[in-house]
Each structure stands twice: as C-alpha cells, then as structure tokens.
A = this chain, B = another copy of it.
Amino acid sequence: MATLQDIANKLGISKGTVSKALNGASDISESMQKTILETAVELGYTKTRGKKNNKKKLCILIENMDYEEPHHFGYELILGFRQMAEPAGYLVDVVPATPELQKSMPYDVFMLQNHYLGAFVLGFSLSDPWMNDFYRSHTPTVLYDNYIISNPNIAYVGIDNQEGMELAVSHLKELGHEKIGYLSNELGAHIMQVRHKAFFQAMRKHGLEAESNCAGSSYYITQCIENHLSKFLNMGITAIVCSHDLIANAAMIQCQQLGYHVPDDISIVGFDDLPICAHTSPPMTTIRQDRIQIGKSGYYALQSLMNHVSIGTLLLHAKLIIRESTKKVRK
C-alpha cells in the first residue's frame, strides 16, 4: 500500500505537507489539497486508522431509499449496522449519496477527504456514477444488494434471492399452481435482475412452464399493473410472484377491482416482508429479508475487508412467511 512518503515523492513535496492536506489543515491551499488527494487515490493510499484523538469513522451511503422512520426500508439496515459498529468504537455517519455528490468527485477521493475507513452502501442502482468507481476502489466497501466482480476491497451482502424465489415457487406448486406469472420493477437494479433470473430458474427446477410472456416489468408500479395484470388473468394464470411487496399489494388491489378474489381466484406472493404485509387485505404471503441481520452482516463484512479477509458475497437465508394471500388452486 502507498505511504505518505510515496505521495510526497511523487509530487516532490514534503511528507508533512501531504499529512496536513489529508487531514484538511487550513494552511494548505485548496488546489494543493485537491492535487494531493487525487495523487493519494491514484497511488491506492487508504486510511488505516482515524486521526489521533478522534474516533474512527465509517459511513453509510444511501440513495433511492427512505430510512428516517421505523417503517422505512432502510431504517433497520442502518440500525443493525450501528448496533455492531458503535460498540466496536466507530463513529457512523449516514450520508445521502445524491447524484450531484457522486458526480462532484471520485468515490475514493470522497472517502479519503472525509476520513472514512470504509462504507456500507445502500440503495444504489446500476446507473449510479460511483458504481463504476467500485471496480477499482481501494476503500473497503460493502454493497447491499449490488455485486462487483473481482475487487478484493468490495463485498456484496443481502439475502439469498435464489433461495427466496425457490421457496415462493415451491410453496405455490405445493398448492397446485402450475401457471404462475411474475411481476417486477424495471430491471435497472442488480437485485431486480437477480430475482427475475431466479424466478425462471425456480420454475424450470420444478418442471413448470415459464414463457417470457409470463413475466412483466415496468418502472412505475401503476404501469406494471396496467401493462401486465389483465393479460396475466386472461392467460389463465392462477398465481403471481412479485419482485417486491408494494407491487404485490397493488396487484391484490387491482385484482379485487377487476372482480377476482384473492386468494380464492388468484394467489399472490410478495418479496421483502415490509411491515405493511401484515396489514394488507388479505395479509400477504411473502419472502422475508431480516434487515437488522443484514445490517449486522454488513458491518461484519466491512470489518473483514478492513482486516484483509476478502469476503465477496455474504447471503442470509431467505424465509417464506405464509399469510393469507395464497391458497390451494381451484380446480
């Protein structure tokens, strides 16, 4: 790994100036700070400990995800991470990673400038600018539901979506369903691609037919329902697996508006087990991801990366939660 001296040598300045710049001293000009930071990143320099007398700092970068309230998706992810990191002596900042921030500087520069030793990254889609930076980043970084191949500094944590889809499809098959449809968010997020693929794998594994016209995806939930649901019902589909609980909820409501009874006429399975699932009408059968556990595992994976144990993928078991939106197929 590059040292302060390496950076100093490269720029022909003193080690003291480099150290001051990296610690944000006010007597180093802004342009010199920028040059030093960029050179540090180019050489692969990373912080290995916090500043003297200061707490070691980690950050949670969050984008496209609500987290402020207990019922928000990101809330427990952050809580689980903090429950592990803070007792271990880390200060954890939660930082909204807006597109503006991501475009303003490379990822490693941001991390170095802010003295973060590592990050837990939530909610990024494949089009987020920093997703490209992760392929070559030198900063220990754990991505929730995103995967970067072959960079020993980056890990992926989440639940096992393949196992989740397998549980959903095998539950429906046990209930006698054979014509099963799949409704999904647009495939612009890694995890939506994984679930989409996993659905078809699970269908094939169970010897069920799955033509591509059994799956529909759209950016907006309302569009998704509008474009695909009536078609599914006309095709004689008796059960629908959804990539997300909110799509499943919208599908249940729309089925009922079209005069179909859930689950007597059609069974519906969600994915995620959001708090809403216990309160939908009817209460929703879904696949649970335990977000506190994911947060804790995110911290563990980050700690491993910081200790040079290069975890690539850490998946928690998915769990089928059977409620009342699924039922034996009507013969």
Contacts and interface: CB of A to CB of B under 8 A. Distances in A.
Contacts of A314: 311, 313-315
Given A150-B167, A297-B304, A304-B300, A313 B311 contact: no
A149 B320 CA distance: 12
Contacts of A151: 317
Contacts of A310: 290, 293, 316-317
Contacts of A316: 309-312
A265 interface: no
Contact of A296 (B166, B167, B309): B309
Interface string A165-198: 0110000000000000000000000000000000
A145 interface: no
B304 A312 contact: no
A152 interface: yes
B315 A160 contact: no
Interface string A122-154: 000000000000000000000000000111100
A138 to B, nearest CB: 15
A106 to B, nearest CB: 22
A28 to B, nearest CB: 37
Interface in A257-271: none
B166 A317 contact: no
Mostly, the A contact residues are mixed
Copies in the assembly, this chain: 2
B311 A315 contact: yes
Contacts of A319: 152
A272 interface: no
Nearest to A80: B309
Contacts of A304: 297, 300
Contact of A163 (B300, B312, B317, B318): B312
A320 to B, nearest CB: 8
Given A297-B304, A300-B300, A304-B297, A150 B311 contact: no
Contacts of A152: 317, 319
Given A149-B163, A150-B167, A167-B150, A297 B312 contact: no
A163 B312 CA distance: 9
A42 B163 CA distance: 26
Interface of A: 149-152, 159-160, 163, 166-167, 290, 293, 296-297, 300, 304, 309-319
26 contacts: A150-B163, A150-B166, A150-B318, A151-B317, A152-B317, A152-B319, A159-B312, A160-B312, A293-B309, A293-B310, A296-B309, A297-B309, A300-B300, A300-B304, A310-B316, A310-B317, A311-B314, A311-B316, A311-B317, A312-B315, A312-B316, A312-B317, A312-B318, A313-B315, A314-B314, A314-B315
Given A149-B166, A159-B312, 14 more contacts: A150-B318, A152-B317, A152-B319, A160-B312, A160-B313, A293-B310, A296-B309, A300-B300, A311-B314, A312-B316, A312-B317, A312-B318, A313-B314, A313-B315
